[in-house]
Amino acid sequence: MNLCIDIDGTLTDPYYWLPRANKHFGTAVAPADVTSYAFDDVLGVPAGSYRWFYQLYGKLIHKEAEIRFGVREILQKLAEEHNIHYVTAREEIMREVTEEWLSEHDLPCDTLSLLGTPNKVWKAKQLESDFFIEDSYDNAIQLAQAGFQVLLIDCTYNRGELPENVLRVKNWHEISKLIDHQVEKAAGAAFTEEMLPA
């Protein structure tokens, strides 16, 4: 299968940027307070301030990012049978630091796409995604509306009603079980069809 995987908040801890942002802005925002992707509002700073902060510290923030529990072992196992495609809204200027981070954490990678936009539907189509693993609610809905199966990893900022083809998961162990289940289900269906009389 083709597994398309977001990076920020999906491979990484979802709040990895928060300590440096709090230090920069003199704020004391806790992870539980991050209830949307509107980081300016979350931090209580003027519009555009977070974007300026990201331009200053983006590479350093990505370099410092902590990996989610279980990601390495599970992706290494999944890569034995599936294609691993990372699809991120990060801009191309972040390629080097992103590649270094993936290498440092020993994560398998068939392709890495830095789109510079949160619109991932066209890339999911190009990669013929079987599962798209995301942390963004808006991205999940957009991908689902285009017909893709999405695994939405639970965060404080992505709560909301989900369509049938978006499943909320708590962690990477649940992701692994769901993908394994899908493989077994597909194999069972194929076996049944092969056993039918001609």
Interval 12-69: pLDDT, tens: 999 999 999 999 999 999 999 999 989 999 999 999 999 999 999 999 999 999 999 9
Relative orientation angle of helices 49-64 and 95-104, to the nearest 10 degrees: 30
HSE, side-chain direction, 13 A CA sphere, residue 102: 25
Q: How far apart are the first and last CA of the chain?
A: 28
Question: What pLDDT is attached to residue 189?
Answer: 54
Helix (H, G, I), strand (E, B) or coil at 67: strand
**Residue 70 tokens, joined:** 């279980």
Where is average pLDDT lowest: 13-17, 92-96, 140-144, 183-187? 183-187
**Residue 137 tokens, joined:** 């609610």
Distance CA 134, CA 141 (A): 10
The DSSP symbol for 4 reads: E
HSE, side-chain direction, 13 A CA sphere, residue 47: 0
Tens digit of each residue's pLDDT (9 = 90 or more) over 157-180: 999 999 999 999 999 999 999 999
Question: What pLDDT is attached to residue 31?
Answer: 97
**pLDDT tier at 185 (50, 70, 90 boundaries)?**
confident
To the nearest whole percent, how much of the chain has pLDDT over 90?
90
Question: What pLDDT is attached to residue 195?
Answer: 37
Question: What pLDDT is attached to residue 193?
Answer: 40
Question: How far, in whole angstroms, is CA 144 from its chain's centroid?
Answer: 15
Q: Could you tell me the sign of the dihedral formed by the alpha carbons of 108, 111, 114, 120, in that order?
A: negative
**Residue 58 tokens, joined:** 């983006």
Nearest Cα residue to 34 out of 114, 117, 137: 137
Every domain of the chain with CATH number 3.40.50.1000 lies at: 2-12+67-195
Question: Looking at the domain that runs over 2-12+67-195, which CATH code has it been given?
Answer: 3.40.50.1000
**pLDDT tier at 192 (50, 70, 90 boundaries)?**
very low
Tens digit of each residue's pLDDT (9 = 90 or more) over 68-115: 999 999 999 999 999 999 999 999 999 999 999 999 999 999 999 999
How deeply is 75 buried, as exposed, middle or buried, from its count of CB atoms within 10 A (0-12, 13-18, 19+)?
buried
Mean pLDDT value across residues 130-148:
97
In which residue are the tokens 């936009």 written? 117
Provide the mean pLDDT of the chain.
93
Question: What pLDDT is attached to residue 186?
Answer: 75
Instruction: Write the Ramachandran bin of 128: left for phi over 0, alpha for psi from -120 to 50, otherwise beta.
Output: left
Q: Could you tell me the sign of the dihedral formed by the alpha carbons of 157, 181, 1, 103, in that order?
A: positive
